[in-house]
Structure 1
Amino acid sequence: MSICNSILSALALRVLVTGAAGQIAYSLLYSIAKGDVFGKDQPIALLLLDITPMMPVLEGVVMEMQDCALPLLKEIIATDKEEVAFKDLDVAILVGSMPRRDGMERKDLLKANVAIFKSQGAALDKYAKKTVKVLVVGNPANTNCLIAAKSAPSIPKQNFSCLTRLDHNRARSQVAMKCGVPATQVKNVIIWGNHSSTQYPDVHHCVVNMSGSEVPCFDAVKDDAWLKGDFITTVQQRGAAVIKARKLSSAMSAAKAICDHMRELWSGTPQGEFTSMGIYSTGNSYGVPDDLVYSFPVHIKDKTWNIVDGLAINDFSRAKMEATAKELMEERDTAVEFLGV
């Protein structure tokens, strides 16, 4: 290896993707390695973790990444060992989780995944950098994220987040289609609460750029019944609708949302805009109970999120925010009961 390549490898951002032989990772890895997420001049070392039976598939993924001949990709490590995968990480994207099977109760799904994310949280605590940024994607994402954070006590809880950007993107897209504008013309939608069918997609603070002027969403859409009815249920149930249609989960859009989430976490949110992110609640914002990972509207600067404060919350919104918080409290209490974290 040349001196130049040695220096670049040393400067490479160490990025872990778990469930790396799966569908979401297959749509995600190229964008990370190409520079679409962490910057066009940021060398990347990819650490790919999956379970032992998936290692032959993962080797095929590694071959494809090599065959892409990407100049920023300095190293690829494929492993089934946590002590290898979590070593000196800068970023951990925890995609892999136990999927829900036919006939499986949500409590059974929680029990299986709590064990996984307790182990991975402990591995983060033991092996990763204390500055590591952790994004949990595997469902139930909010509670998995909470368990991982509780299992990594030496890493600040602010370093943990879960993915609700996919729901955020879905909400933007639904409004954009209704208004006949590109999704980029819709900003400041909010996803409150859980990444589940209780989430609350809120457009009371959303604006739509219509012919060069920013118009409140309700004025742009001109259909209050839709915004308080079918819009909300469409976003809440979009994942299930995709599975019903394609017989597979929404891997492409999830990978895009992961890229959006991590890019803004790394580079910041645009001026005057906020995004949605599942983060640790301290009980100080919008009446949300503490000790939950709950999706809030956030600004991001210098790789640090801050909740957008002072937004007016009407009774309609408050009821939906409380309903999703209740579900999260029940999930948390069930998870803690299983593993005592």
Structure 2
Amino acid sequence: MELLDAAFSLLKDIIEACKDVNIAIMLGGFSQKEGMERKDMMSKNVPIYKEQASALEKHAASDCKVLVVANPVNTNALILKEFAHSIPKKNITCLTRLDHNRALSQIAERIKVYVIDVKNVIIWGNHSSTQYPDANHATVTTTNGERPVKELVTDNHWLKNEFINTVQQCGVAIIKAQKASSALSAASATCMSDWVLGTPKGTWVSMGVYSDGSYGIPKDIIYSFPVKCEKGKWSIVKGLKIDEFSRAKMDATAKDLIDKKEVAHSCLN
């Protein structure tokens, strides 16, 4: 009604939302406020994403790629997947690229290199304080070639504590500073060029995707894995060595997602 009332000279027609869309970036949701846990948002967001799923189910293109940005992203994406049955489950993802970028920048700052020289960090699990930022497989391009981050950051205590905690709490720190969630950094991370055009050779990114059981992660949850993209499709990077420390962190964030899934399902009743 307001679009019509504004009498925009360039407005020629108004069509149904989501009609024939090939890419849907889901920004809408009940926003997180300072002091609010993601669980507190579920009772408000579950109905929203059930309705969004219905719109995509009815009107979106059959090959529609969906990226959920509104928190809690993993659970919102799971609810959307469960109610948008015609959209392939591999086409519904959630944003953990922001956490991936934060991890890259923390390492670059620590080593005093350009962030473009750092690659292949991993964000495992949930976009929450239980996520596991993993630098075990990350490398840095130097004048002497590519070197593992663990060779350049000799302080193992920093990698297992301060680095992880800083990345986990970046979102909270930004909310505390500006009384609202990330804006510019989240917008930058939302760029879907890697998914659509492919990841550069030898690199991967972190994406929240439907678990197929890789790395012992339970199926039927949306979980952040390292993925490579090619020709508009993603695939989980296989065969990475997982040490005992990482295993515990990965399982803990999976349990968090399973608990949130149960809470979300209770909101549907």
What TM-score, normalized to structure 2? 0.93
In 2, distance between residues paired with 1:250 and 1:108?
Answer: 19
In 1, distance between residues paired with 2:35 and 2:225?
Answer: 32
Cα RMSD of the aligned pairs, angstroms, is 2.2
In 2, distance between residues paired with 1:116 and 1:103?
Answer: 22
Sort the Cα spacing of 1:102 and 1:223 in 2 relative to 1 into closer, same or farther, 3 A: closer
Q: CA contact under 8 A between 2:38 and 2:71: conserved in structure 1?
A: no
What SS does the corresponding residue of 1:290 show, helix, strand or coil?
A: coil
Partner residue in 1 for 2:250: 321
Deviation at 1:108, TM superposition (A): 3.6
Sort the Cα spacing of 1:131 and 1:277 in 2 relative to 1 into closer, same or farther, 3 A: same
Partner residue in 2 for 1:303: 232
Letter in 1 for 2:233: T
Partner residue in 2 for 1:99: 31
Letter in 1 for 2:249: K
Letter in 2 for 1:123: A
In 2, distance between residues paired with 1:76 and 1:322?
Answer: 52
- For residues 121-150 of structure 1, what are the alpha-carbon distances to aligned partners after superposition, in whole Å with 9 as ceiling and x for unaligned? 111111100100000000000000000011
Q: CA contact under 8 A between 2:129 and 2:169: conserved in structure 1?
A: yes
Higher relative contact order, structure no. (Cα contacts within 8 Å, ≥ 6 residues apart): 2
What SS does the corresponding residue of 1:158 show, helix, strand or coil?
A: helix
In 2, distance between residues paired with 1:104 and 1:228?
Answer: 27
Deviation at 1:183, TM superposition (A): 0.5
Equivalent residue in structure 2 for 1:116, among 32, 48, 51:
48
Sort the Cα spacing of 1:242 and 1:108 in 2 relative to 1 into closer, same or farther, 3 A: closer
Alignment of 1:1-341 (within 5 A): 84-101=16-33, 106-259=38-191, 262-283=192-213, 285-339=214-268
Letter in 2 for 1:84: E
Unaligned runs of 5+ in 1: 1-51, 67-74
Deviation at 1:101, TM superposition (A): 4.2
Deviation at 1:107, TM superposition (A): 3.7
Deviation at 1:213, TM superposition (A): 1.2
- For residues 65-100 of structure 1, what are the alpha-carbon distances to aligned partners after superposition, in whole Å with 9 as ceiling and x for unaligned? x9xxxxxxxx998x8xxx822111010000111023
- For residues 224-271 of structure 1, what are the alpha-carbon distances to aligned partners after superposition, in whole Å with 9 as ceiling and x for unaligned? 110100000000000111122223321000000001xx1101100000
Q: CA contact under 8 A between 2:34 and 2:180: conserved in structure 1?
A: no
Sort the Cα spacing of 1:76 and 1:217 in 2 relative to 1 into closer, same or farther, 3 A: farther
In 1, distance between residues paired with 2:237 and 2:184?
Answer: 29
- For residues 8-58 of structure 1, what are the alpha-carbon distances to aligned partners after superposition, in whole Å with 9 as ceiling and x for unaligned? xxxxxxxxxxxxxxxxxxxxxxxxxxxxxxxxxxxxxxxxxxxx9xx79xx
Q: Which moved more, 1:209-218 or 1:153-162?
A: 209-218
In 1, distance between residues paired with 2:176 and 2:268?
Answer: 33
Sort the Cα spacing of 1:90 and 1:76 in 2 relative to 1 into closer, same or farther, 3 A: farther
Letter in 2 for 1:315: E
In 1, distance between residues paired with 2:254 and 2:72?
Answer: 14
Sort the Cα spacing of 1:156 and 1:171 in 2 relative to 1 into closer, same or farther, 3 A: same
- For residues 202-229 of structure 1, what are the alpha-carbon distances to aligned partners after superposition, in whole Å with 9 as ceiling and x for unaligned? 0110001122411111111121110100
Unaligned runs of 5+ in 2: none
Q: CA contact under 8 A between 2:33 and 2:181: conserved in structure 1?
A: no
